Structure 1
Amino acid sequence: MRISTNMMFESGSTRLSEMQSSLAKVQDQISTGRRILTPADDPVAAAQALVVSQSKSANEQFAINRQNAAASLSLEESVLQSVTSLLQDVKTLVVQAGNPALDGKQRQFIATELAGIRDEMLSLANSRDGAGNYLFSGFQTNVQPFAQTATGAQYNGDQGQRMAQVGSARKMPVSDTGAAIFESAKTGNGTFVTGANPANTGTGVASTGSIANAAALTGNNYSVTFTTVPGSAPTYAVVNTTTGATLSAATPYVSGETITFDGIQFDIKGSPANGDQFTVRPSGNQSVFTSMTELVNLLNAPVNSPADQARLSMGLAAANNNAGNALDNVLTVRASVGIRLKEMETLDSQGEDVGLQYAQQLEELQGLDYTKAITELSKQKIMLEAAQQSFVKTSNLSLFNFL
């Protein structure tokens, strides 16, 4: 076999290139800290590393989602804390307005202060986040949730609750609607509401009442009508206005004595006039802005007679009840927000642990044994240097040297 000079140079050059490539690969492994630079280095481990890397990226995205969700919930909690303080102020002012020593002018001062609180609460209900989105308008984040009206405020948002994927198997609400916060407070005692006919002329005042027997409740409407005949004790009749049935007729009236029927109990104090009527109806949801507007109107109304004083007393009792129910509703939402924030902290801790596990798995699959790599680097260098020196000597050999 004839070995030409060209073949010898090509063979030597190819071998040196291979060795330089091997040396460069080891250098790249050391610089990156990774054993697998291409899938060809270890196809099985490369495939497993790809799966783990995707899971790790998803876990990191969940962490970002949780961060954004926590910021949104924290902002909502801050707004609701302010709403809570305002509702507590409302209850204080309602109690203050019930002081019999106050005159009409002083009650109007309180009404003015309450109107300011109502406007401030409306502003809080229309709060925005840092991106300019409304907090409490449901899915319609670009729509102002509340618009003031003569009777309170109108809700223009929807019932949507925005969700965020905060874990592989957990979607969490990151918002609450204005309807749920400001329009879901129950009236009365939460089961039924007592009221007085605006045409009453006596001094009777009905209490809020309570449940005597939950199993006997019907959810119907009732009326309690008084009959007062000179020379006779006043009596009252209870009628189920939903069915038209008379539950009791000509029952003697004693101020402060409990009136009980169909699982309902309450009392009426004072001296109702002939024909005065009180009503009982099931509790419903009422906007806090409607309740406050009614309260402002009540305090601005003149009190010129004992009947007016009775209406004021009963109206203030209802307003205090409504404010308390609205406060309880806001506190319930705040508790829900707090629970979600607490869960977010737990998910963050779990996410960090999972992230460490993914990082450890990737290190096991792709990580480089530096001792072994450095030894291999030294070996490759020595081999390359030896090959280069041999090639130099071999390339200088020629038959002409022996002539």
Structure 2
Amino acid sequence: MRVTPMMTSENALYNIQEGRARLDRLNEQISAGLNILRPSDDPITSRQILDLQNKVKEGDQYLSNITKSNLWLDFTETALQGVSDVLNNIKGVASTISSGTTDTAVRTNSVSQLKEMRKQLLDMANIQLGDQYIFGGYKNSTLSVAGDTNGTTGIANIDVTNLSVGMAVSGDGIPANTVINSIGPGNAITLNNSATASGSGVRLTFGPPFNAAPFAGSALKGDLNGTNSITGLDTSTLSVGMPVSGEGIPVGTKIAAIPASGTITLDAPATITKTGASLLFGGNFRGTDDKIQVEVSRSSKVEINVSGSELFSGTGTYGSVDLFAALDGLIAAIESNNVPAIQLNAANLDKGSQQVSNARSDVAGRMTRLLSTKKMVTRDQNTAKSIISERQNVDYAKAAIELTQQQTAFEAALSATAKISQLSLLDYLK
């Protein structure tokens, strides 16, 4: 094969350019500290590195979720400790009077203490982390339903399937603090307030307001007259179905209706007549039982909330004691010196303490699970980072040797090319 000077020149230039490119790439790798500078350098390894980097970012999000979940559960545990302390104080008062006493002053003092503790229990039930009620669930359980208003308390032609007495009502022509008083007969409901306008197919919203305190309640003064009616009340915070306790109020009594501002109707008559009687309202759960779950790994979610109804009303797996009902029963029993009722409600509150302990054990188990998951996610992240470093980061000692070798080879190529380029036909004819 005949090798022409042009071929020799082109090959020499090609080798110089290739050597220059390899030298530049080594310099660039050392400067950047990376083996792969662009996907075209190694498409397969580039894809693997991208997948591993996504895994690290995913782990960062999981760790953030775990941190927030731990904060919520830590706060829940603190709240549960507070509930447990209140119940222990209640049991302490109950134990001193478990056999009853004819001393009115002792009973009055015990009742006064228990009513204050009831307020504390209600405060714990409505405790917040930031602007969120930790025992209230999270969903806005409102319904949007059309109905015909006629300027009175009645609403006709409405789908009552998912409605219930005590639900809050809002919409065009509906006054504030309006609730359902009764349902039926037929597709009709009555409200505790009259609509201010008439209309067909008016869009109405039913249900508690979003993020409302899960346990409504307050201490108020009212006038009893020995019947189902109580007057002289501030009814702005009251709703149908709310439990009522206090002087002359039978155990288990609830608000049956709110016929007018300042007046309520009970589902059982008061046993005394008194002006300015001390009354307690609330303890009924109006939050939601939704389980707030947080994703802490690809295949794992952890529930971070405790249901208020399960904890305080005994509707779930923790126990079956309604703490507020048991406490109201204890207060009423002490007021009437009913020894069997005192002992029964004290025993129920003792079971309620175990109910709270069960919830605390559940929360502790979730926190342990979060700790284990955090370790697993961190370990996976470290493994991914190690593989990325191995495939992506430059080995400076090795790169320095390669750079020296490439520099030497490049200089040799330049020297050889310079000598070849000086030859001519006359050199061969000598």
TM-score relative to the length of structure 2: 0.58
Match of 2:351, SS state, is: helix
Match of 2:56, SS state, is: helix
Q: Distance in 1 between matches of 2:400 and 2:359?
A: 61
- Map 1:110-259; keep pairs closer than 5 Å: 110-130=110-130, 132-140=131-139, 142-148=211-217, 149=242, 150-151=244-245, 152-184=282-314
Correspondent of 1:288 among 323, 327, 349: 323
Distance 1:28 1:93, change over 3 A: farther
Q: Distance in 1 between matches of 2:107 and 2:407?
A: 96
Deviation string for 1:204-249 (max 9, x for gaps)?
xxxxxxxxxxxxxxxxxxxxxxxxxxxxxxxxxxxxxxxxxxxxxx
Query: Number of aligned pairs?
Result: 285
* Greater gyration radius: 1
Shift of 1:173: 0.4
Shift of 1:110: 1.3
Q: Is the 8 A contact 2:321 2:349 kept in 1?
A: no
1:340 counterpart = 2:366: yes
Distance 1:79 1:28, change over 3 A: farther
Match of 1:165, SS state, is: strand
Match of 2:129, SS state, is: coil
- Segment of structure 1 superposing worse, 368-377 or 380-389: 380-389
Deviation string for 1:73-129 (max 9, x for gaps)?
111011001101111111111111225556111111111111111111111111111
Distance 1:96 1:375, change over 3 A: same
| Aligned twin of 2:397 | 371
Q: Which has the higher contact order (CA 8 A, sep 6+)?
A: 1
Q: Is the 8 A contact 1:69 1:174 kept in 2?
A: yes
Q: Which runs of 5+ in 2 are unaligned?
A: 140-209, 218-241, 246-281, 422-430
One-letter amino acid matched to 2:389: E
TM-score relative to the length of structure 1: 0.62
Match of 1:172, SS state, is: strand
Q: Distance in 2 between matches of 1:129 and 1:32?
A: 46
Q: Is the 8 A contact 2:321 2:351 kept in 1?
A: no
Q: Distance in 1 between matches of 2:307 and 2:46?
A: 47
Shift of 1:391: 11
Distance 1:18 1:142, change over 3 A: farther
One-letter amino acid matched to 1:294: G
Shift of 1:29: 2.3
Q: Which of the pair is proportionally richer in helix?
A: 1
Shift of 1:184: 0.5
Match of 1:320, SS state, is: helix
| Aligned twin of 1:53 | 53
Q: Distance in 2 between matches of 1:53 and 1:102?
A: 76
Overall identity of the aligned pairs, in %: 23
Q: Is the 8 A contact 1:36 1:46 kept in 2?
A: yes
Distance 1:19 1:178, change over 3 A: same
Q: Distance in 2 between matches of 1:328 and 1:341?
A: 20
Shift of 1:135: 0.5
Q: Distance in 2 between matches of 1:46 and 1:101?
A: 83
Shift of 1:371: 1.8
Q: Which runs of 5+ in 1 are unaligned?
A: 191-284, 302-308, 396-403
| Aligned twin of 2:95 | 95
- Map 1:24-43; keep pairs closer than 5 Å: 24-43=24-43
Deviation string for 1:6-25 (max 9, x for gaps)?
xx9xx98x998876665453
